[in-house]
Structure 1
Amino acid sequence: MNSQPAPGTSRVSRTSSARSVVRTLARTNVLLLKQLWIWPIIAGVLLGAIGLVMRNAVEKTLQEDLRADLQAILETDVTALRVWLKSQEQVAAGVARDVQLREQVRALISLAEQPESSKNVLTASAELPRLRAELEPVLEGHGMNGFIVLNRERKVIACERDDAVGLTTTDEESKATVESVLAGKTGVSRPMKSRIILPDRHGQMRAGVPTMFAFAPVKADDGTVIAALGLRLRPDDEFSQILQVARAGTTGETYAFDRNGLLLSESRFDEQLREIGLLTEDADSVLNVSLRNPGVDLVAGERTKTPRSEQPLTALAAGAIEGASGNNTVGYRDYRGVQSVGAWTWLDDYEFGVGTEIDADDAFRAMRIIRTTFWSMFAMLGAASAAIFGFSIVNARLNREARRAALDAKQLGQYTLDEKLGEGGMGVVYHGHHALLLRPTAIKFLHPEKTNDQTVARFEREVKLTSQLVHPNTIAVYDYGRTPEGIFYYAMEYLDGLNLEDLIKQYGPQSDGRTAHILRQICGSLAEAHGIGLIHRDIKPANIMLSLRGGVPDFVKVLDFGLVKALDAQQQSNLTSAGGMTGTPLYLSPEAIRTPEDVDARSDIYAIGAVGYFLLTGRPVFEGANVLEIVRQHAETPPVPPSEQCGRPVNPELERVLLRCLAKQPGDRPQTAQELDELLQASCGGLWVRADALHWWQDLKNRSSAQGLVSTGWDAGATIVAGR
């Protein structure tokens, strides 16, 4: 007598066989490693190549960053310097416009023009003390230490010191500045050595002290220039300090220089310059140090036989004097002979250059650390990476085989898989049943080949968010879990019906009443989601299922909350590509295109309006040859009214509601799903007839039974499909 196996024997046998395969694969781990003996070599070579490329890329990036930093420092210092120079010009111009000063200057000019006039006549006049008294508070208030007044013959007719009165400017540099001022312009002279005795920075009285002037023209009542007023500034004071507003590293400095390469501002290395013999003990660097390349590192104790006057200008000084801005991050010797990098520019309006530089050792410290670290870690990293690489391949293969074995056994936890309903880019949906429960179930799980931490996290987030929603028009989640083999799945209600996209494809545009009835149910589902701070973000016809459920025709289920956005969950940004355009282009709101990170519930309202438009007309609101053309229309183009699009009368109130949903500005739409539901009820509340809907579904059932199916198709983005 032949005995028949029990009904579950075959399935149990397959499950046992699958588990046996998993155990066998685990036991063959050593064998697999032997078969992959070449992987350590490949991994080592690959890591070496990648490491070299990365090191070169990092070094290139560091050089580019250094170039950008030098340029930024230079621009910052030059900007600060220009602001300071302009402010000094404005001070001088304001003083030169003073009425009393102009009267005193006119009187001094008259005295200077008399045939018998001499220095004594000017110094003994009553006007000079008055002028000094007039300017004293101005000079003290702006940190200036003197003044001069030059007549049109460039003769000094007034000064804070008597010994300068009567002198005439003879040097070409000051002559050019004074001529410009006498032509009616304000300006600041380059630093120069004083011809009179002045206190230096240490308070010692001596000649040749660095000085500069902020000049402004003194004008007569008719506007003609009668004299030039100069307010004395100290180059080693604010002028030098301004150039140190920003600097790089511990050796960076910014300085000004003239066409001969002579320093016009103070060097930060004065002590060092005295030690290597470029400065005497009592001298400062301003107007005493030339930017010349000695050819050797003087700081390191090297000596050159080439006289300083015969040494070439440094690369920085030469580049700026040629009149062009530039930079050098390859390296050159500075005026101390130290290898440096820098950036420079020439200020045509002030006729001097500005450069910023830093010692190469200081600038490339990070690069040297990277090189040292790379070579010291490379051997260990290569060996470890090779081992990990090989192990990860074997482990991944074992995991995939284990998942395939579980799927071949048609068993996911307490659920048995029956026929496949559909398959998308990331997941698969099966019709199945629980071991104890009889109700039909749809089970969704990730492709074994596409399972990783990110996809699992997003998949798990989808089911957790969807399970919070209990509205009857939202797809219901029954259960979720992870098998011992690492397959993440969840079970949800199984739906018979068809989605709205298929509805339009097969049956064409829908009536006003049916459209409003469907949209109101979508509003009900989203009202609950919005109420707990969730936005769907992918409302579209393919994500809306229509069915005959519990004897209720045209019953709507909203699917696919995989793109749902939790307004208060900042950690979800990495799972949904925050800041990226998310959703389906045909149904995207304008704000989801322009600022996708700022969408709110009103974006879903726009999508509902677009779905309603599609139901009434059989066409999307906007169509185009490509995605860019479509999203541009959503952002900019007003929609054609549904009645004009479909060429038939449409309920005016319903049309107004849909066009209001499609407003470009969120504030012009219904603000909540509940408000939209009420507007739809008011527009087409009595146009949907239950008896007509029952008749439609009965007719569909009869035709589908004759063809052997209830619905066809599965949308890869949907949470659940219908089909039998």
Structure 2
Amino acid sequence: MESRRSNDSETLGARIKTGTNRRLVSWLAAAYLVVMFTTMIWVTQVLDRSMRRLAGRSIQSILVGNVARVRLHFVELEREAEQLLAKPAIRQAFTQSLTDFEASDKDALSNGSSAYVEKLDKLIPPHPRAIGWVLTDRDGHTVASNDSSRIGTDCHWSDLNRNHLLRDVSTLVLPPAPVDAPVQPTLMVLSPLIEQSQLIGTFGWVINPRGYLSAHMSITPTDATYLFDRRARMLTRSRFEDRLSHFVSTDVPPGSATPWPPVLIRDPGTYLSSPDEISPEELADRPLTRMADRATRGSSGVDTDGYNDYRGVQVVGAWQWLPEYDLGMAMEIDADEAFGPVKILQRVIVGLFGLLTLAGLCVAGLALWSARLQQRLQDRDQGRRRLGQYELTELLGAGGMGSVYRGRHQYLRRDVAIKVLEGEDLSPQSIERFRREVQLTSTLRHPNTIAIYDYGQAHRLFAERSPKGTHDTDSVFYYVMEYIDGISLQQLIDFYGPQNPARVVHLLLQICGSIAEAHDAGLIHRDIKPANILLSAQTNSWDFIKVLDFGLVKDLGRVEDTVAITMTRSDAITGTPLYMAPETIRDPSAASMSGDLYSIGAVGYALLTGQTTYDGDSAIDLCLKQLERAPVRPETRLGRVLPNGLQDLIMECLSLHPEARPSSVNELVARLDALPESSRWNQADSALWWETVFEANRQRTPVETKNPTLADHPLNSAP
């Protein structure tokens, strides 16, 4: 017996030693593999960054040269027009023509008097680079031109053009045309005609940018520079006209003044290998390319990460906005062509590192297999927590009414959020209140209200966690709702401060949409606050609001509601002090829809200023301030000017008297829609914020609010 025990002990010791050695070899091989792959990735990334910086500088230098050449051409045209105006005979003829135009039958002149035009045409020498000339009055109406169709038309000067001319400075005019008009845009270089310090008219040259400017820009088989206006219409030629024949006519000579439909710098969403893939009308509805979107907003920059151009092809490029001309210029090159050599070099490097790591692959595979097996054993020993068919993966947060976990359905493999009530939180009132929250929330269908998927009761897997003496400690109540990948408005306020007024209106409208549905169903939320409102960032649906946590809902249509009566009795204040209406603080049973409007106003105040309505050291201090006086006006609190209409509406919602607030959420929506800021924040602005501001701060993405005691937690959860 003793010998057998000794052999068993030796066998066990050998197995332990073998297992230890095997793990040591596996980890060493895995470490070697990790080091090799890390080094390879680092080398390739350094090489890629270096090549992108080099490509960006090269593209930008070419663009700068092209911008300088275009500016020089415009300056030459302006100087030539000014030189003509400086000649007494021509200046006198122009002045007389403008005087005759004012005193004569304008309709007759608009029809084009040949003698009237021929007189000027003989004085004006032909310009080798212009397709014509124009003479306009002080208001931009064409008085005379070598093209009779222009006479009597309006040049539609912009404010920029008018300011230049009034300051006796030549200007560049782009006559407007509908985006889908089959007309190639033309440019006018106009110089002012000043008499006695007054602008009496202008004279200038009409040029076809497609023929005149394209010849002086870099257009090669691998790259192209082009000019475009604020509506992202390409004014110069495209080097891909053979592929875009569906949208432009390639049989028009480069210098011709024949109508030519401009190419729209919009992302078609797919590679245009065939002209029949997308119609011109569909293309006009597509979003601008990343370059065009940023350039038409007045920015200049370089993008070497790659973006889709107007053909749907990945390109890298640089762009510059020319504010003095209200035009933009871009230099683009296909990404495959720009980074072709570096990709070849990267493959060589990957191949070399692959040869170096080949010897350790088998051992590394064994190490990974051992690690996975060990993890499975640990999972089997420890057990992952399950509630019904849902597996809980991580804790998202905990509050007075249970904890929220991230989970996944066993078969659907869909991420969900699971709210759990268990242990010390269990009581007859809390269980009934939990069920009531599920029942009432599940009746709401508004897109901005959190969606409920399931509700259930299970037994705890870890009974030792349940404190003895509590009610139903072996049970777990839970409900399943949609998982929102985003942040709460409280986190947005705490980490990103005051928000753009237009964005505040955009968010408040969505919150009102959710609460309006609840009010129409006879439900009062009673706990509207930034921490209960999530802001998601999904593709094509940026800045999308989800209102949740209807645990304090009051059902106005239910006559006998024991839980609601318990929650709203006068000695049990529920809700969050900073977002509770004064009348609710005085008498919780007086909660009404007007109280929700006060809470929405408090949320808007916090978004607009980055601060709560009141400052205080305790919840009681805050409640006393809310009962005694209205909050300070947002612009006074923030110290800068804010839109008065939005401030007035928020302050009206925060009125101490319910009758002074908007009569309903629907009225609040209508008044928010009427504000000038209601349409100024769009999906492009939202996407830009998430892609720049949020992504730049990803390392410090908030996981909880900074002030949970006063700003987030209720005064007292109803027993």
TM-score (norm 2): 0.42
